[in-house]
Amino acid sequence: MKSENAFIEYEADEPGSSPEVLELNIISGGCRLYGYLLTPDKRIRGPYPAVIMSHGFPGYTTNNDIELALMRTGCVVIHMNHRGAWGSEGNYLFTNLKDDLIAIAKWAHNPAIAEQYDIDTDNIFLAGHSMGGQTVLNAAKELPFIKGVAALAAYDIGAAFRYSMEKDLFLMIETEGQCLKMNSAGDVYENALNNRFELAILNDAEKLADHNVLLVEAKFDTVAPPDKMLRPLYDKLKSLNSPVTYESVSSGHSFAGQRMELTKILSVWMEKTIG
């Protein structure tokens, strides 16, 4: 992996070398999750590190730019849509997110799949933005083979209730969540309320202590205020002597004006982690 290639392309494709976008569907909870897999240019020799991306709620802020940049550095990139989101089967529930990501990670780690896509199973990463940040952190607690986990402006349902932000959470579900398949906004909110302690990123935080963790805050974030949702996890992991890295980007929640800076932070951290 070469992080400096994140914004560099070959002058032209060569026959049989072109990067590919391959459609995927992976089973989780008896439902098909739909997405795609990006393969790097074959002039970069494998096996390749793999990055599994987890989208936020509901996923309007896409990470396609980061995914393509990581592909150029020499990574296989896996993008899957969670249950009930963007055509994937099933209903959307917060408690499904972690299980979906675990299913995807185990799929990528399977020797037959790794051979098919030339994945280096010693270098599989999870990366997620917003609700996806909460998802990757919670999934990594149950995936010892993961090389590293990156949470970008992570949203924390546990903190939302702890700091009396539940009204904002419900409004987010009711308005932004209209594109999701769900029984009702109230049903999804009740799922968050009843499972707020299990979903909290501080829950079982010691299980992340041996993982390489990257936490990136959006300094002007009003959706997932870093002092309430990300910084407490950093402080906890530091107290456990965890190999955790904390970065701050001067942007709002979506990083819309600082996407290249965010990509540089993530790709450089991955390259250093791989060694």
List, in order of start, the domains of the chain with CATH numbers: 17-274 (3.40.50.1820)
pLDDT recorded at residue 49 = 98
pLDDT recorded at residue 59 = 78
pLDDT recorded at residue 222 = 96
pLDDT recorded at residue 60 = 82
Does the predicted TM-score (pTM) go above 0.85? yes
pLDDT recorded at residue 273 = 98
**Dist CA 151 CA 131 (whole Å):** 9
How does DSSP classify residue 58?
S
Q: Which residues of the chain have pLDDT under 70?
A: none
Which positions ≥6 away from 104 have C-beta within 8 Å?
A: 26, 28, 33, 52, 78, 80
pLDDT recorded at residue 92 = 95
Q: What is the pLDDT of residues 76-94, one digit of tens each?
A: 999 999 999 999 999 999 9
The neighbour count for residue 55, using CB atoms within 10 Å, is 24
pLDDT recorded at residue 108 = 98
pLDDT recorded at residue 58 = 87
Q: What is the pLDDT of residues 111-149, one digit of tens each?
A: 999 999 999 999 999 999 999 999 999 999 999 999 999
